[in-house]
Amino acid sequence: MSLQFFASMTTAPGEFRKIEKLLAEAQPAIDPLAGVLSTPLFMSQEALSFVRRFQEERKSQICFDSAGYYVQMGKISYYELYMKLLNCYRTHRWADRYVLPDNVPLSSDSLAQVEEKVRETVYYSCLFFHEMPDELKEKAMPVVHGRTRAQIEYCLEHYIQLGVKWIGFGSFGTAGKNNEANVATNSAVENARFVVQIAKQYGIKVHLFGIGAPALVGMLYSTGAASFDSASWFKAAGFGQVHMPFMRSYNITYNNSSSEIQQGITWDHFTRLKKITGHECLFCADYHTLAGHKMHRVIHNLLVVNETVAMLNQGLFDRARAIYEQGSVKYKEEYKQWLPLH
C-alpha cells in the first residue's frame, strides 16, 4: 500500500519560480512535486502554465481542485462556482484529475445546514459530471461530505452509480477566522475510513482533502486512502512555523510559549528534533537560513512532508514509531492506533 502526496499550489508565478529554483538546489531523492493540486479558477494563465510544465517536464500528476475551499471561505458562492468551473474544465483538458464542485459543510453549520450542503453537493456534482466533456469523465472526482453515516452513504450511493475511478473525502472539521483550516476530528477520521472501505469494494480510490501536517500523516496512511493534499507546508512557513517528520509544527522565528498553536522553539531544541527525526536539508542547516527566509521554510516544510510520506511507503514503521514516541504528548497515544505493530 502506498500513499501519494499532492502539494497544494495555487500561488503567484513568482512563488512557483522560487519553489522550483530552491528545489533544484535541494536535489531531493523523491520529487515533492510528483503530485500537484491547483485551483485553476483562481490562478493566472502564467501560474497555470507552470503547472502544465510540471506535468510535461517533471511528469507530475496534476489534480484540478474545484475551489470548494474558496466557497468555504466565502470568496465565491457555490452557485456562481458551477458554470465558471465547467467552462474552466472545458478549456483546460490536460489535467489528470478533476474535482467536482462541492459545498463544504463548516463546523459552525447546524445539522440542517450540513444536510442541505450534502444534498446540494451530490445533486450538482452529478449534474456537473454529465455536462463534462466525455474525455474528462474518467478523470472526475466527486467529493463526499457529511457528519452522519447516513449522509456519507447518500454521497457514496450516488457517486458509485456514476462509475467514477476516484472519490474525494472533504468533511474534516473546519477552524480559523474564515474556516480556512481543516481539522481531523475523530468522527471525521472514522468517516474517512468508512469511505475508503466502501470505495475499495467497487475498485474506487480515495483522496483526502486538505489535511497534511506531518504528525497526521500516520493517521492518513492508516485510513488506506490512495492520496491526500496539503498546503500546510506553505501556509505554516508564512507564520514562521517549521515542520519535522511525524511531529507537530513549531515557530522558529520567535520564542513564544504562551500560545499552544504558535509555540516557539529554540535552535537547540530544533537541533535535537533533527537528530530524533534524521531530517537534514540545505534550508535548516543553520538558524538564520531557516528563521530569516519564508521561502527557505516553505521548501524545508515541503521536503519534510514528502520525507514523512516516503518513510511510511517504504515500510519504515519502527522509525516512525520511535519519532512519535519522542514527539508531542498529543500523538504519543494516538499513533498506536495508526501504525501497524510489525
Residue 206 and residue 258 share a domain? no
Residue 300 and residue 187 share a domain? no
* Residue 230: its H or E element: strand 227-230
Q: What is the CATH number of the domain that holds 136?
A: 3.20.20.105
Q: pLDDT of the chain along its 342 residues, tens only?
A: 799 999 999 888 999 999 999 999 999 999 999 999 999 999 999 999 999 999 999 999 999 999 988 888 888 999 999 999 999 999 999 999 999 999 988 888 899 999 999 999 999 999 999 999 999 999 999 999 998 999 999 999 999 999 999 999 987 754 455 544 555 667 788 899 999 999 999 999 999 998 888 999 999 999 999 999 999 999 999 999 999 999 999 999 875 555 555 678 899 999 999 999 999 999 999 999 999 999 999 999 999 999 999 999 999 999 999 999 998 888 888 888 888 755
For 49, other C-beta atoms within 10 Å of its C-beta total 13
Domain limits for position 297: 241-338
* Residue 41: its H or E element: none
Cα–Cα separations (whole angstroms), residue 155 to 124, 147, 152, 221: 12, 12, 5, 23
Q: What is the pLDDT of residue 161?
A: 97
Evaluate whether residue 189 is within a structural domain.
yes
Evaluate whether residue 236 is within a structural domain.
no
For 139, other C-beta atoms within 10 Å of its C-beta total 19
Residue 290 and residue 220 share a domain? no
Evaluate whether residue 186 is within a structural domain.
yes
Residue 121 and residue 13 share a domain? yes
pTM assigned to the model? 0.93
* Residue 138: its H or E element: none
Axis-axis angle for helices 78-91, 111-131 (nearest 10) = 30
Q: What is the pLDDT of residue 114?
A: 93
Could you say which of 230, 257, 273 is where a domain stops? 230
Q: What is the pLDDT of residue 173?
A: 55
Residue 249 and residue 128 share a domain? no
Q: What is the pLDDT of residue 174?
A: 46
Q: What is the pLDDT of residue 341?
A: 58
Q: Which residue is it, cell 500500500?
A: 1
Distance CA 6, CA 100 (A): 17
- 3-class DSSP state for residue 44? coil
Residue 40 and residue 82 share a domain? yes
Q: What is the pLDDT of residue 180?
A: 47
Residue 34 and residue 147 share a domain? yes
